[in-house]
Structure 1
Amino acid sequence: MAQDHRARQYASTHQRIYDAAMELFTELGYEEVPISRLASAAGVSVQTFYAHYAGKDELIMALPERADVDALIASVPADRPLRERTSSAILGFVRGLSGDRYADALARWRLIARTARLRYRAAEYERATAQLFLDSLGVAADPAATVVVTAHLSAYTQALLRWGESGGELALAAVVEEALDALRGL
Protein backbone atom coordinates (compact mmCIF):
# COMPACT_ATOMS: atom_id res chain seq x y z
CA MET A 1 0.00 0.00 0.00
CA ALA A 2 2.74 2.47 0.94
CA GLN A 3 4.59 1.62 -2.25
CA ASP A 4 1.46 2.42 -4.33
CA HIS A 5 1.16 5.78 -2.57
CA ARG A 6 4.82 6.57 -3.27
CA ALA A 7 4.42 5.58 -6.92
CA ARG A 8 1.34 7.81 -7.29
CA GLN A 9 3.12 10.67 -5.53
CA TYR A 10 6.17 10.26 -7.77
CA ALA A 11 3.98 10.21 -10.90
CA SER A 12 2.07 13.27 -9.73
CA THR A 13 5.26 15.24 -9.05
CA HIS A 14 6.75 14.09 -12.36
CA GLN A 15 3.69 15.35 -14.23
CA ARG A 16 3.57 18.61 -12.24
CA ILE A 17 7.19 19.35 -13.19
CA TYR A 18 6.47 18.54 -16.83
CA ASP A 19 3.32 20.68 -16.94
CA ALA A 20 5.07 23.66 -15.32
CA ALA A 21 7.98 23.32 -17.73
CA MET A 22 5.80 23.18 -20.82
CA GLU A 23 3.90 26.26 -19.68
CA LEU A 24 7.13 28.20 -19.08
CA PHE A 25 8.72 27.00 -22.33
CA THR A 26 5.66 28.10 -24.28
CA GLU A 27 5.56 31.47 -22.54
CA LEU A 28 9.27 32.32 -22.38
CA GLY A 29 11.09 29.96 -24.74
CA TYR A 30 13.08 26.86 -23.97
CA GLU A 31 16.50 28.47 -23.72
CA GLU A 32 15.22 31.26 -21.45
CA VAL A 33 14.04 29.01 -18.62
CA PRO A 34 16.64 27.77 -16.11
CA ILE A 35 16.02 24.60 -14.13
CA SER A 36 15.76 26.59 -10.90
CA ARG A 37 12.76 28.44 -12.40
CA LEU A 38 11.19 25.15 -13.54
CA ALA A 39 11.57 23.66 -10.09
CA SER A 40 10.12 26.75 -8.42
CA ALA A 41 7.13 26.85 -10.78
CA ALA A 42 6.43 23.18 -10.04
CA GLY A 43 6.80 23.72 -6.30
CA VAL A 44 9.79 21.39 -5.94
CA SER A 45 13.46 21.76 -5.16
CA VAL A 46 16.13 21.63 -7.84
CA GLN A 47 17.25 18.34 -6.30
CA THR A 48 13.72 16.94 -6.74
CA PHE A 49 13.72 18.12 -10.36
CA TYR A 50 16.90 16.11 -10.96
CA ALA A 51 15.39 13.09 -9.20
CA HIS A 52 12.76 13.12 -11.97
CA TYR A 53 14.65 14.35 -15.02
CA ALA A 54 18.33 14.34 -15.96
CA GLY A 55 17.91 17.85 -17.41
CA LYS A 56 15.66 20.06 -19.50
CA ASP A 57 16.35 18.13 -22.69
CA GLU A 58 15.27 14.85 -21.11
CA LEU A 59 12.07 16.49 -19.93
CA ILE A 60 11.12 17.11 -23.57
CA MET A 61 12.82 14.23 -25.35
CA ALA A 62 11.52 10.77 -24.54
CA LEU A 63 12.74 7.41 -25.73
CA PRO A 64 10.08 4.78 -26.18
CA GLU A 65 10.10 1.87 -23.77
CA ARG A 66 11.58 -1.35 -25.14
CA ALA A 67 8.29 -3.16 -24.43
CA ASP A 68 6.39 -0.58 -26.50
CA VAL A 69 8.76 -1.03 -29.45
CA ASP A 70 8.47 -4.80 -29.11
CA ALA A 71 4.67 -4.50 -29.18
CA LEU A 72 4.78 -2.28 -32.28
CA ILE A 73 7.07 -4.70 -34.08
CA ALA A 74 4.94 -7.67 -32.99
CA SER A 75 1.86 -5.97 -34.46
CA VAL A 76 3.30 -6.41 -37.98
CA PRO A 77 3.54 -9.93 -39.44
CA ALA A 78 7.11 -11.23 -39.19
CA ASP A 79 7.03 -12.53 -42.76
CA ARG A 80 6.79 -9.02 -44.19
CA PRO A 81 9.92 -7.34 -45.61
CA LEU A 82 11.97 -5.26 -43.17
CA ARG A 83 10.99 -1.97 -44.82
CA GLU A 84 7.32 -2.79 -44.47
CA ARG A 85 7.65 -3.99 -40.89
CA THR A 86 9.47 -0.82 -39.89
CA SER A 87 7.15 1.63 -41.64
CA SER A 88 4.03 -0.25 -40.50
CA ALA A 89 5.22 -0.15 -36.88
CA ILE A 90 5.89 3.59 -37.11
CA LEU A 91 2.52 4.27 -38.74
CA GLY A 92 0.79 2.05 -36.18
CA PHE A 93 2.23 4.17 -33.41
CA VAL A 94 1.25 7.44 -35.10
CA ARG A 95 -2.29 6.28 -35.81
CA GLY A 96 -2.63 5.21 -32.18
CA LEU A 97 -1.94 8.71 -30.85
CA SER A 98 -5.11 10.45 -29.74
CA GLY A 99 -6.47 12.80 -27.13
CA ASP A 100 -3.97 13.97 -24.53
CA ARG A 101 -1.15 11.85 -25.98
CA TYR A 102 -1.63 13.51 -29.38
CA ALA A 103 -1.78 17.00 -27.85
CA ASP A 104 1.31 16.29 -25.76
CA ALA A 105 3.25 15.00 -28.77
CA LEU A 106 2.31 18.11 -30.74
CA ALA A 107 3.38 20.42 -27.91
CA ARG A 108 6.72 18.61 -27.63
CA TRP A 109 7.41 18.63 -31.37
CA ARG A 110 6.41 22.28 -31.73
CA LEU A 111 9.00 23.09 -29.08
CA ILE A 112 11.62 20.78 -30.62
CA ALA A 113 11.04 22.26 -34.09
CA ARG A 114 11.67 25.81 -32.91
CA THR A 115 14.62 25.08 -30.60
CA ALA A 116 17.95 24.42 -32.31
CA ARG A 117 19.38 22.52 -29.35
CA LEU A 118 16.39 20.17 -29.22
CA ARG A 119 16.45 19.60 -32.99
CA TYR A 120 20.05 18.47 -32.58
CA ARG A 121 19.15 16.23 -29.63
CA ALA A 122 16.26 14.73 -31.63
CA ALA A 123 18.88 13.11 -33.87
CA GLU A 124 20.44 11.39 -30.84
CA TYR A 125 17.07 10.07 -29.73
CA GLU A 126 16.32 8.99 -33.29
CA ARG A 127 19.49 6.85 -33.33
CA ALA A 128 18.69 5.36 -29.93
CA THR A 129 15.14 4.56 -31.06
CA ALA A 130 16.51 2.97 -34.24
CA GLN A 131 18.67 0.73 -32.06
CA LEU A 132 15.58 -0.33 -30.09
CA PHE A 133 13.89 -1.21 -33.40
CA LEU A 134 16.95 -3.15 -34.62
CA ASP A 135 17.15 -5.10 -31.37
CA SER A 136 13.43 -5.84 -31.38
CA LEU A 137 13.57 -6.97 -35.01
CA GLY A 138 16.57 -9.17 -34.21
CA VAL A 139 18.69 -7.60 -36.97
CA ALA A 140 21.07 -5.39 -34.98
CA ALA A 141 24.16 -7.11 -36.44
CA ASP A 142 23.03 -6.72 -40.07
CA PRO A 143 24.56 -3.60 -41.70
CA ALA A 144 21.92 -3.47 -44.47
CA ALA A 145 19.11 -3.71 -41.91
CA THR A 146 20.72 -0.90 -39.95
CA VAL A 147 20.56 1.34 -43.02
CA VAL A 148 16.90 0.49 -43.65
CA VAL A 149 15.76 1.02 -40.06
CA THR A 150 17.77 4.19 -39.44
CA ALA A 151 16.53 5.67 -42.72
CA HIS A 152 12.94 5.03 -41.64
CA LEU A 153 13.51 6.57 -38.22
CA SER A 154 15.19 9.58 -39.84
CA ALA A 155 12.21 10.05 -42.17
CA TYR A 156 9.91 9.77 -39.16
CA THR A 157 11.85 12.43 -37.24
CA GLN A 158 11.75 14.76 -40.23
CA ALA A 159 7.99 14.25 -40.48
CA LEU A 160 7.55 15.04 -36.78
CA LEU A 161 9.60 18.22 -37.17
CA ARG A 162 7.50 19.27 -40.17
CA TRP A 163 4.32 18.54 -38.23
CA GLY A 164 5.62 20.53 -35.25
CA GLU A 165 6.61 23.44 -37.48
CA SER A 166 3.08 23.49 -38.90
CA GLY A 167 1.66 23.74 -35.38
CA GLY A 168 -0.48 20.71 -36.09
CA GLU A 169 -2.02 22.22 -39.23
CA LEU A 170 -0.69 19.28 -41.22
CA ALA A 171 -2.19 15.89 -40.45
CA LEU A 172 0.39 13.85 -38.56
CA ALA A 173 -0.35 10.50 -40.21
CA ALA A 174 -0.28 12.07 -43.69
CA VAL A 175 3.07 13.80 -43.05
CA VAL A 176 4.59 10.58 -41.71
CA GLU A 177 3.22 8.53 -44.61
CA GLU A 178 4.64 11.06 -47.08
CA ALA A 179 8.08 10.90 -45.44
CA LEU A 180 8.10 7.10 -45.38
CA ASP A 181 6.84 6.94 -48.98
CA ALA A 182 9.80 9.08 -50.04
CA LEU A 183 12.09 6.21 -49.00
CA ARG A 184 10.41 3.83 -51.42
CA GLY A 185 11.55 5.98 -54.34
CA LEU A 186 15.22 5.69 -53.39
Structure 2
Amino acid sequence: MSDDWRERKKARTRRAIQEAALRLFLDKGYEETTVAQIAQAAGVSHMTFFRYFPTKEDVVIEDEYDPMIEELIRSRPADEPPAARVRHAVTQELALIGAADREVVLTRLRLMLSTPALRARLWENQYRTQRLLERALSGEDDPAPVPLRTRVIASACLAALVTALTTWAESDGADDLPALVDEAFAVLRGEFD
Protein backbone atom coordinates (compact mmCIF):
# COMPACT_ATOMS: atom_id res chain seq x y z
CA MET A 1 0.00 0.00 0.00
CA SER A 2 1.26 3.44 -0.84
CA ASP A 3 1.65 6.31 1.60
CA ASP A 4 -0.66 8.38 -0.60
CA TRP A 5 -3.44 5.80 -0.23
CA ARG A 6 -2.97 5.74 3.56
CA GLU A 7 -3.14 9.52 3.75
CA ARG A 8 -6.34 9.60 1.68
CA LYS A 9 -7.86 6.90 3.91
CA LYS A 10 -6.92 8.87 7.05
CA ALA A 11 -8.42 12.04 5.57
CA ARG A 12 -11.66 10.19 4.71
CA THR A 13 -11.90 8.73 8.21
CA ARG A 14 -11.22 12.10 9.84
CA ARG A 15 -13.86 13.75 7.66
CA ALA A 16 -16.41 10.98 8.38
CA ILE A 17 -15.89 11.42 12.12
CA GLN A 18 -16.24 15.20 11.90
CA GLU A 19 -19.33 15.06 9.68
CA ALA A 20 -21.02 12.51 11.98
CA ALA A 21 -20.19 14.64 15.01
CA LEU A 22 -21.55 17.82 13.45
CA ARG A 23 -24.79 16.06 12.43
CA LEU A 24 -25.25 14.73 15.96
CA PHE A 25 -24.41 18.07 17.56
CA LEU A 26 -27.03 19.78 15.40
CA ASP A 27 -29.64 17.06 16.01
CA LYS A 28 -29.09 16.31 19.71
CA GLY A 29 -27.03 19.23 20.98
CA TYR A 30 -23.33 19.38 21.73
CA GLU A 31 -23.51 18.55 25.44
CA GLU A 32 -25.95 15.67 24.91
CA THR A 33 -23.80 13.94 22.28
CA THR A 34 -21.20 11.43 23.46
CA VAL A 35 -17.97 10.34 21.80
CA ALA A 36 -19.36 6.78 21.66
CA GLN A 37 -22.38 8.05 19.68
CA ILE A 38 -20.11 9.94 17.30
CA ALA A 39 -17.89 6.90 16.76
CA GLN A 40 -20.89 4.67 16.09
CA ALA A 41 -22.40 7.15 13.62
CA ALA A 42 -19.06 7.41 11.81
CA GLY A 43 -18.63 3.64 11.70
CA VAL A 44 -15.41 3.64 13.73
CA SER A 45 -14.40 2.47 17.18
CA HIS A 46 -14.26 4.67 20.24
CA MET A 47 -10.44 4.36 20.18
CA THR A 48 -10.28 5.34 16.50
CA PHE A 49 -12.12 8.55 17.36
CA PHE A 50 -9.39 9.42 19.87
CA ARG A 51 -6.62 8.68 17.35
CA TYR A 52 -8.02 11.48 15.19
CA PHE A 53 -9.41 13.85 17.83
CA PRO A 54 -7.98 13.94 21.38
CA THR A 55 -11.22 15.41 22.79
CA LYS A 56 -14.83 15.96 21.77
CA GLU A 57 -14.11 19.70 21.51
CA ASP A 58 -11.33 19.05 18.98
CA VAL A 59 -13.78 17.58 16.47
CA VAL A 60 -15.23 21.10 16.16
CA ILE A 61 -12.19 23.29 16.90
CA GLU A 62 -9.45 21.57 14.87
CA ASP A 63 -9.17 21.89 11.10
CA GLU A 64 -6.64 21.67 8.30
CA TYR A 65 -6.84 25.33 7.30
CA ASP A 66 -4.12 26.90 9.47
CA PRO A 67 -1.22 24.97 7.89
CA MET A 68 -2.60 25.88 4.46
CA ILE A 69 -2.72 29.58 5.39
CA GLU A 70 0.85 29.44 6.69
CA GLU A 71 2.06 27.90 3.45
CA LEU A 72 0.15 30.45 1.35
CA ILE A 73 1.56 33.39 3.38
CA ARG A 74 5.10 32.08 2.96
CA SER A 75 4.56 31.76 -0.79
CA ARG A 76 3.63 35.47 -1.12
CA PRO A 77 6.30 37.97 -2.23
CA ALA A 78 8.46 38.99 0.73
CA ASP A 79 8.24 42.68 -0.21
CA GLU A 80 4.43 42.65 -0.05
CA PRO A 81 3.04 44.42 3.06
CA PRO A 82 2.43 41.85 5.84
CA ALA A 83 -1.32 42.44 6.20
CA ALA A 84 -1.71 42.14 2.42
CA ARG A 85 0.17 38.83 2.50
CA VAL A 86 -2.29 37.48 5.07
CA ARG A 87 -5.33 38.85 3.20
CA HIS A 88 -4.19 37.32 -0.10
CA ALA A 89 -3.44 33.99 1.59
CA VAL A 90 -6.88 33.90 3.23
CA THR A 91 -8.56 34.88 -0.04
CA GLN A 92 -6.67 32.12 -1.88
CA GLU A 93 -7.68 29.61 0.76
CA LEU A 94 -11.35 30.64 0.60
CA ALA A 95 -11.26 30.10 -3.17
CA LEU A 96 -10.07 26.53 -2.56
CA ILE A 97 -12.86 25.72 -0.10
CA GLY A 98 -15.84 24.22 -1.88
CA ALA A 99 -19.51 24.78 -1.04
CA ALA A 100 -19.73 21.58 1.04
CA ASP A 101 -16.67 22.53 3.07
CA ARG A 102 -18.05 26.03 3.52
CA GLU A 103 -21.18 24.53 5.07
CA VAL A 104 -18.99 22.52 7.48
CA VAL A 105 -17.04 25.68 8.40
CA LEU A 106 -20.31 27.55 8.97
CA THR A 107 -21.67 24.76 11.19
CA ARG A 108 -18.44 24.64 13.18
CA LEU A 109 -18.48 28.43 13.65
CA ARG A 110 -22.10 28.38 14.83
CA LEU A 111 -21.28 25.66 17.34
CA MET A 112 -18.17 27.48 18.59
CA LEU A 113 -20.07 30.72 19.07
CA SER A 114 -23.07 29.13 20.81
CA THR A 115 -21.49 26.42 22.99
CA PRO A 116 -19.77 27.55 26.22
CA ALA A 117 -17.33 24.59 26.30
CA LEU A 118 -16.21 25.39 22.75
CA ARG A 119 -15.96 29.14 23.33
CA ALA A 120 -13.57 28.37 26.19
CA ARG A 121 -11.29 26.47 23.78
CA LEU A 122 -11.55 29.12 21.07
CA TRP A 123 -8.96 31.42 22.68
CA GLU A 124 -6.44 28.55 22.79
CA ASN A 125 -7.02 27.89 19.08
CA GLN A 126 -6.73 31.59 18.21
CA TYR A 127 -3.48 31.84 20.16
CA ARG A 128 -2.01 28.98 18.08
CA THR A 129 -3.24 30.66 14.89
CA GLN A 130 -1.66 33.96 15.90
CA ARG A 131 1.68 32.23 16.53
CA LEU A 132 1.39 30.56 13.13
CA LEU A 133 0.77 33.96 11.48
CA GLU A 134 3.75 35.44 13.33
CA ARG A 135 6.02 32.63 12.10
CA ALA A 136 4.76 32.90 8.55
CA LEU A 137 5.15 36.70 8.44
CA SER A 138 8.59 36.68 10.06
CA GLY A 139 9.78 33.77 7.95
CA GLU A 140 11.17 32.15 11.09
CA ASP A 141 10.56 28.58 12.22
CA ASP A 142 12.63 28.66 15.37
CA PRO A 143 11.27 29.81 18.71
CA ALA A 144 13.30 33.04 18.58
CA PRO A 145 11.35 36.09 19.69
CA VAL A 146 9.24 37.56 16.91
CA PRO A 147 9.50 41.36 16.67
CA LEU A 148 6.67 43.23 18.38
CA ARG A 149 5.66 44.89 15.08
CA THR A 150 5.13 41.48 13.48
CA ARG A 151 3.19 40.25 16.50
CA VAL A 152 0.89 43.28 16.41
CA ILE A 153 0.27 42.89 12.66
CA ALA A 154 -0.45 39.16 13.08
CA SER A 155 -2.84 39.92 15.93
CA ALA A 156 -4.63 42.63 13.94
CA CYS A 157 -4.94 40.32 10.92
CA LEU A 158 -6.35 37.55 13.11
CA ALA A 159 -8.84 39.99 14.65
CA ALA A 160 -9.96 41.09 11.17
CA LEU A 161 -10.35 37.48 10.04
CA VAL A 162 -12.21 36.39 13.19
CA THR A 163 -14.53 39.41 12.91
CA ALA A 164 -15.31 38.57 9.28
CA LEU A 165 -15.95 34.90 10.14
CA THR A 166 -18.15 35.81 13.12
CA THR A 167 -20.16 38.28 11.02
CA TRP A 168 -20.60 35.60 8.35
CA ALA A 169 -21.77 33.03 10.93
CA GLU A 170 -24.16 35.55 12.49
CA SER A 171 -25.69 36.12 9.04
CA ASP A 172 -26.17 32.32 8.83
CA GLY A 173 -23.88 32.30 5.81
CA ALA A 174 -26.02 34.77 3.86
CA ASP A 175 -23.25 37.37 3.61
CA ASP A 176 -20.45 36.82 1.12
CA LEU A 177 -17.50 35.57 3.17
CA PRO A 178 -14.71 36.66 0.77
CA ALA A 179 -16.29 40.14 0.60
CA LEU A 180 -16.43 40.31 4.41
CA VAL A 181 -12.76 39.30 4.62
CA ASP A 182 -11.82 41.96 2.05
CA GLU A 183 -13.85 44.58 3.93
CA ALA A 184 -12.26 43.67 7.28
CA PHE A 185 -8.76 43.88 5.79
CA ALA A 186 -9.63 47.16 4.08
CA VAL A 187 -10.31 48.59 7.54
CA LEU A 188 -6.84 47.42 8.60
CA ARG A 189 -5.26 48.93 5.51
CA GLY A 190 -6.88 52.24 6.35
CA GLU A 191 -5.56 52.07 9.91
CA PHE A 192 -2.04 50.97 8.91
CA ASP A 193 -1.79 53.64 6.23
Normalised to the residue count of structure 2, the TM-score between the two structures is 0.81
Matched residue SS, 1:24? helix
Q: Label 1:185 to 1:157 Cα distance change in 2 as closer, same or farther (>3 A).
A: same
- 1:153 Cα deviation from its structure 2 partner: 0.8
- 1:79 Cα deviation from its structure 2 partner: 0.8
* Worse-superposed segment, 45-54 or 87-96: 87-96
Could you say which residue in structure 2 is the equivalent of 1:178? 183
Question: 2:165 matched to 1:160?
Answer: yes
Could you say which residue in structure 2 is the equivalent of 1:113? 113
Could you say which residue in structure 2 is the equivalent of 1:78? 78
Is the Cα contact below 8 Å between 1:91 and 1:173 reproduced in 2? yes
Structure-2 separation of matches of 1:87 and 1:11: 27
Question: 2:121 matched to 1:142?
Answer: no
- 1:25 Cα deviation from its structure 2 partner: 0.9
Instruction: Output the amino acid matched with 1:47.
Output: M
Could you say which residue in structure 2 is the equivalent of 1:87? 87
Instruction: Output the amino acid matched with 2:119.
Output: R
Question: 2:29 matched to 1:24?
Answer: no
Is the Cα contact below 8 Å between 2:106 and 2:169 reproduced in 1? yes
Describe the superposition over 1:117-168 as per-residue Cα deviations: whole angstroms up to 9, x where unpaired. Answer: 3233223222211211221222662011101111111221122122112211
Q: Label 1:103 to 1:63 Cα distance change in 2 as closer, same or farther (>3 A).
A: closer
Instruction: Output the amino acid matched with 2:178.
Output: A
Could you say which residue in structure 2 is the equivalent of 1:40? 40
Is the Cα contact below 8 Å between 1:122 and 1:157 reproduced in 2? no
Is the Cα contact below 8 Å between 2:163 and 2:184 reproduced in 1? yes
Structure-2 separation of matches of 1:65 and 1:33: 25
Could you say which residue in structure 2 is the equivalent of 1:97? 97
Structure-1 separation of matches of 2:113 and 2:40: 26
Is the Cα contact below 8 Å between 1:111 and 1:164 reproduced in 2? no
Structure-1 separation of matches of 2:96 and 2:65: 16
Equivalent pairs: percent with the same residue? 34
Matched residue SS, 2:51? helix
Structure 1 vs Structure 2 CA RMSD: 2.5
Q: How many residues align?
A: 186
